[in-house]
A = this chain, B = another copy of it.
Amino acid sequence: MDESNNAPFAYEGLDRVIHERARLGVLTSLVAHQKGLIFGDLRDLCGLTDGNLSRHLHVLQEAGLVEITKGFAHNRPQTVCRITDLGRARYLDYLSVLEQVVRDAAKAVSDAGLPSPATA
């Protein structure tokens, strides 16, 4: 919670393009694989269908956060997805706000005397 903020729980920095659950998974996968991921591997890592992944990649590409390269490997068409420099910068900004949310939430839970969430 930013005490200097009039609306401390507004979380405007939670960029909606990134915050959507599937896209958050896609971007986290791509940050973890800087050289890029083949479409099918990215789909499996994120537990998405082809159609869902295509739709979310389109949103991310339109926003300039990922780039899609179509090429060939072993004479078969291959689509490779990579995060862009802008994508990395926006992801880092988003992550700092998400960390703030988790700190606020953990404090609220603690102040309320609730048990801490189970950690994996």
A residues whose Cβ falls under 8 Å from a Cβ of B = 1-2, 6-12, 14, 16, 19, 21, 24-26, 28-29, 31-32, 34, 44-48, 88, 91-93, 95-96, 98-102, 104-109, 111-112, 114-115, 117-120
Closest-CB distance, A120 to chain B (whole angstroms)? 6
A interface SS class: helix
Name the residue of chain B whose CB is nearest to the CB of A46. B9
The CA of A24 and the CA of B100, in the complex, are separated in Å by 12
A112 touches B7 (CB 8 A): no
B24 touches A108 (CB 8 A): no
B31 touches A9 (CB 8 A): no
6 A-B contacts (beta carbon < 8 Å): A9-B25, A9-B26, A9-B45, A32-B108, A92-B109, A93-B117
B95 touches A12 (CB 8 A): no
A7 touches B118 (CB 8 A): no
A12 touches B99 (CB 8 A): no
Q: Which residues of B contact A118 (CB under 8 A)?
A: 96
